[in-house]
Amino acid sequence: MTSSADDPLVSTDWLSARIDNPRIKVIDASYKMPGALPLPSDDYLGVHIPGAVFFDVNAIANPGDPRPHMYPSTEQFARDVAALGISSGDTVVVYDSGAWVAAPRAWWMFLSFGHPNVKVLDGGLKKWLREGRPTHSGRVTPKPGKFQARLDPGFVRSKAQLLGNLDTHAEQVVDARPRPRFEGTVAEPWPGRRSGHIPGSRNVPYAELFDAQTGAMKSLQELRQAFENAGVDITKPIVTSCGSGVSALVLTLALYRLGVRDTALYDGSWAEWGLPDGPPVATGPA
């Protein structure tokens, strides 16, 4: 169980009271699937929380990797984050559109690269707007910060590690995709990928962990029930997965709220595993 001090979520009231604090840096990490318009960066220019800068999940990524938005190098992450005006001593508050896709991804990246002072805005921009709070539009040009990063490799898993796990079952793999994609009854939105899931994995669709109306994350009891219903033992090691390593972190965030630490992200997720010449695929319910 999390205390308020180590709860990764902060409320709109909390942020509103601190919006003018120069040591609190707000970032918009909204994300959409490829081809979805308008682009999240254009949405950001149209309306954002005052002072927020745009954290581009596709750009703060390894530019030489054909897989979508894989983790960048330590040097690149430090450089890109400093360019957003963030320094190592700052508290980062990350939000997204309120559809709960990519704010947890940015949160996990900051933690992975050794920056513990990072929070996710509960309900994101959706809740902020519903409450009639102030917004800005246009680009924010921050003064560059000084940011040091060091990646803890324990935060992420590779395909090779997940292949090894097929034999050892040392870690539970929990997939955040919608049920039809997990069960392989619909085509994958990522072109050229097979349908189905990693053999032995469990399914907790990320959209079931927050209230679609308000954008707020569900209660701790409801979160716990969602994992229990999927056959996940939260006392044992967990790796989260999804379509491309973004929405998986909604599960990670929920687990963190339940006091679960030491989970890991399969960064390549289905965009890697589902390739035509990839590893074994299972279909049907877990």
Task: Verify cis geometry, omega within 30 degrees of 0, for the bond prior to 34.
Answer: no
Residues linked to residue 157 through DSSP beta bridges, in sequence order: 266
List, in order, residues 6 or more apart from 58 with CB less than 8 Å away.
Answer: 31, 68, 69
For the question of residue 242 being annotated catalytic, the response is yes
242, 250, 253, 271: which one is catalytic?
242
> Nearest CA to 99 among 214, 178, 188?
214
Contact predicate 264/219, CB 8 Å: no
List, in order, residues 6 or more apart from 249 with CB less than 8 Å away.
Answer: 104, 105, 107, 108, 240, 265
User: How far, in Å, CA of 42 to CA of 33, rounded?
Assistant: 14
List, in order, residues 6 or more apart from 23 with CB less than 8 Å away.
Answer: 89, 90, 91
Residues linked to residue 94 through DSSP beta bridges, in sequence order: 27, 120
User: Exposed, middle or buried: residue 47 (CB in 10 Å: 0-12, 13-18, 19+)?
Assistant: middle
User: How far, in Å, CA of 52 to CA of 82, rounded?
Assistant: 14
Q: Which residues are catalytic?
A: 242
